[in-house]
Structure 1
Amino acid sequence: MSAFVYRRVGDRSAAEEVTAEVFRIAWEHALGGGDSSAGRLFVTARNLLSNHYRAMARLRELHGRIGEELDRMPAAVQDSTVLDTLDRLPAPHRDVLLLSYWDGLSAAEAGEVLQCSAPAVWVRLHRARKAFREIYTSPEESA
């Protein structure tokens, strides 16, 4: 079974993990009185391999997105000013702006995170933009 999985994964560690999971599932299935034939093991392995491939694809996508974000880190003074302005905003305003613009969430998705409705997110976003604009355009206060 391990060789079957290894030929498809190409990584010894991942193959061992998937194989262990195959036998764990087979053991649980056998304890319940189910079929634990070799064919069943290969079907289980194939299903777990599909899950593994999807997880690896999501991980590659996440790494790509992180790399893109790092490439867009602020280098200009204007970018630094934007980040400073965000830091000076109250947390609720900063949160809704970051969820909407940085994370790219829709109003409904941001509402789930903020535990409010989509229309409430739009209101919060309007107020946060206004607060951002006021801080960004006003001269920095002396401490």
Structure 2
Amino acid sequence: MREQGTRLTGGGSPSDEELAHRVSEGETTLFEVLMRRYNARVYRAVRAVLSDEDEVEDVMQQAYVLAFTHLEQFKGNAKFSTWLIRIAVNEALLRLRKRSRLVALDGGSDEEPEAAMKRVERQTSDPERQASDRELVHLLESTLEALPAPYRMVLMLREVDELSTAETAEVLSVSEDVVKTRLHRARAMLRDELDTRLGGQLEEVFSFQAPRCDRVVAAVFARLGPH
């Protein structure tokens, strides 16, 4: 792909499919539009799997690099956002599995991989959240953090990012029935006193601030290099 000087034209915002096509045709700077359009959603999806903020950003960057370098594989059969989030979730799960294998090797643990994954996540702290004065959001994040990863991911994708059941199933490579079951169980795991507050406050969970957005965009283009 070659980079060209570009400008968005027309009265409305171009669709994801149009942007992806134009990036594939050489207008590589337009990839920034796609990144900024979905940075928050990609962040929340990855953050549902991983707890370490630095690792989350690294996985985001890797997911964007993969999406950019394999953009020709996007055929438009699904939404671009679904395709992108699936790449990000797969990268996050791969990172978690690699870490779990290292923990097992170093510690000689006989735990099953899923149990090891959950244990590692519970041991990872988030100093930024501990220092936050957003008490309700802090409580929501802590409650979500306690959920097993499969249920947390479904809850984030369905309730926060508002993916459909079919889209969530595609992202996670499971059936729609599995998505429905996990979502039902995830809701049941949350304490009753949080149920009435989730609707109005959940969007603030794992919020994606502008400085992080700029940092991720800059890092991705630095890794991609000249095209």
Q: TM-score, normalised by structure 2?
A: 0.31
Q: Which has the higher helix share?
A: 1
Greater relative CO (CA pairs within 8 A, separation 6+): 2
